[in-house]
């Protein structure tokens, strides 16, 4: 099965090479870390005498979600080296800030030749995969090298679910290489069982993203707040993680707000850096006054849009919002994480495409802690919330309470990982030296 899978992967890579080269040439995407993805271990990841714990976090959201867990692992296992891989460039930059460049690298493509190089250098005793990354060769080789493999914060979105169901006859074998699945919810646990994960290895530990620590108050937030106050600007609408075809709808809603509030400001943060210039062009085309965050030098803001063309600031910028909109949800893209504005006690609006965060959004909706709208309703809901201070503040307060009620997943996850590593320490020497491990219940 693995030979067939690897052959299909190689064929797909060759066929799609023109697309990857076009993306590299057009905006530099995928160029960074290319050799690492192909299995060349960077010198900064020099071989260490310490055994390692390898955490894989795809992008920024996953890196933030495992932040407290990583700190807990470092404290609990100081004799281990902790390393992290990411898939995206934005996740890579954030991970390097957190752990240092010498401990962070790009996740290798799912080919045996690429993966074995990292396993040989890092010698992981524990591999923790954040959320759901079922790479067959990686799971097989990591398990065969003696590592205990855990899928933490595991979820199966509505969008992914049909595809997994179609492939479950293959997944059943692949998932036996994982010793422990820590699901976000009972529904995620059920779906894992249905696609072939051994039931005795599945536990519900909660969602790590509820435990994410608010970023420290940043200098940019203080500067922006001061600029807004000097210009007597407001209200402030923060629109985060927006995607293609969504900004136009949001700008239309903002124009409705500005008709009643001429000093209103929108802080607009597109999801993908390669779209910054595209969105700037759209604002220019529509005749909207705007400032680029990268060029902003403290001038007063009023009656226009601050385009956030920087990385890593959105989570703290939500603190400025009178109302927050979380993107990827007015168009069918599955939505993005609403917990960052919720932690600030900000009233949240999302569109009706939130499949990627189904359980979180449903929880908030059950507690009247979020507003869900379609494109046509967005301007009206914005105006209603801005006209009603009491309801707006109550909505934000319920959002904070909802986050607080769900904390604790990091502690539960760390408990499971400690037990798993303790079990690994008791294995026969031949196994811990890297011989293939028999399949066990987690």
* Residue closest to 369 by CA, chosen among 388, 389, 350: 350
pLDDT over threshold 80, residue 237: yes
* Residue closest to 309 by CA, chosen among 278, 352, 347: 278
Q: Sign (positive/negative) of CA torsion 147, 205, 129, 73?
A: negative
Predicted local distance difference test score (pLDDT) of residue 368: 98
Predicted local distance difference test score (pLDDT) of residue 439: 35
Q: Region 269-286: what's the mean pLDDT?
A: 95
| Weakest mean pLDDT among 156-160, 180-184, 300-304, 386-390 | 156-160
- Tell me, yes or no, if 340 is annotated catalytic: no
Better-predicted residue by pLDDT, 368 or 274: 368
Predicted local distance difference test score (pLDDT) of residue 29: 67
What six digits make up the tokens of 371?
């507003």
> What pLDDT digit, counting tens, does each position of 81-122 carry?
999 999 998 899 999 999 999 999 999 999 999 999 999 999
Contact present, 427 and 165 (Cβ < 8 Å): no
Q: For residues 368 and 221, what is the distance between their CA atoms, to the nearest angstrom? A: 28
What six digits make up the tokens of 320?
């400025």
Q: Region 159-181: what's the mean pLDDT?
A: 93
* Residue closest to 235 by CA, chosen among 269, 268, 260, 261: 261
Pairing of strands 236-242, 265-270: parallel
Place 440 in a pLDDT band, splitting at 50, 70 and 90: very low
Contact present, 421 and 125 (Cβ < 8 Å): yes
> What pLDDT digit, counting tens, does each position of 294-343 carry?
999 999 999 999 999 998 899 999 999 999 999 999 999 999 999 999 99
Residue spans of alpha helices (H) in 150-269? 161-166, 168-174, 186-194, 219-230, 247-260
pTM as predicted: 0.87
- Exactly one of 32, 36, 62, 71 is catalytic; which is it? 62
* Residue closest to 73 by CA, chosen among 49, 52, 96, 46: 52
Question: Domains, the chain, ranges and CATH?
Answer: 31-206+408-423 (3.40.50.11720), 219-405 (3.40.50.2000)
């Amino acid at each position: 099965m693995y030979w067939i899978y690897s052959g299909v992967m190689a064929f797909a890579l060759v066929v799609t090479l023109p697309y990857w080269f076009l993306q590299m040439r057009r905006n530099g995407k995928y160029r960074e870390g290319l050799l690492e993805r192909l299995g060349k271990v960077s010198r900064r990841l020099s071989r260490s005498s310490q055994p390692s714990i390898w955490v894989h976090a795809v992008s920024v959201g996953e890196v933030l979600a495992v932040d407290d867990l990583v700190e807990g692992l470092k404290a609990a296992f100081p004799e281990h080296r902790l390393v992290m891989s990411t898939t995206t460039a934005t996740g890579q930059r954030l991970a390097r800030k957190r752990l240092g460049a010498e401990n962070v690298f790009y996740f290798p493509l799912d080919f045996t030749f690429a993966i074995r190089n990292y396993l040989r250098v890092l010698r992981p005793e524990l591999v923790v995969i954040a959320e759901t990354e079922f790479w067959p060769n990686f799971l097989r080789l990591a398990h065969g090298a003696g590592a205990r493999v855990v899928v933490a914060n595991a979820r199966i979105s509505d969008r992914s679910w049909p595809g997994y169901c179609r492939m479950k006859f293959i997944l059943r074998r692949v998932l036996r290489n994982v010793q422990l699945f820590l699901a976000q919810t009972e529904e995620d646990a059920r779906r894992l069982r249905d696609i072939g994960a051994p039931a005795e290895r599945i536990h519900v530990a909660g969602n790590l993203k509820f435990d994410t620590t608010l970023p420290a108050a940043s200098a940019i937030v203080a500067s922006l707040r001061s600029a807004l106050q000097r210009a007597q600007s407001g209200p402030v609408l923060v629109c985060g993680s927006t995607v293609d075809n969504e900004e136009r709808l949001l700008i239309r809603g903002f124009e409705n707000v500005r008709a009643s509030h001429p000093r209103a400001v929108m802080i607009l943060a597109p999801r993908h850096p390669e779209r910054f210039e595209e969105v700037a062009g759209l604002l220019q085309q529509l005749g909207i006054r705007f400032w680029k965050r990268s060029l902003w030098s403290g001038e007063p803001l009023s009656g226009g849009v601050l385009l956030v063309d920087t990385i890593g600031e959105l989570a703290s910028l939500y603190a400025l919002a009178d109302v927050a909109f979380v993107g990827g949800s007015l168009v069918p893209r599955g939505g993005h994480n609403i917990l960052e504005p919720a932690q600030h006690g900000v009233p949240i609006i999302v569109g009706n495409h939130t499949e990627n965060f189904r359980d979180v959004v449903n929880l908030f909706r059950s507690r009247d802690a979020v507003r869900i709208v379609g494109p046509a309703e967005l301007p009206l809901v914005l105006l209603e919330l801005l006209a009603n201070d009491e309801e707006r503040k109550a909505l934000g307060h319920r959002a904070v309470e909802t986050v607080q009620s769900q904390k604790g997943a990091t502690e539960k996850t760390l408990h499971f990982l400690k037990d798993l590593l303790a079990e690994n320490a008791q294995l026969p020497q031949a196994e811990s030296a890297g011989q293939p491990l028999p399949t066990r219940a987690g």
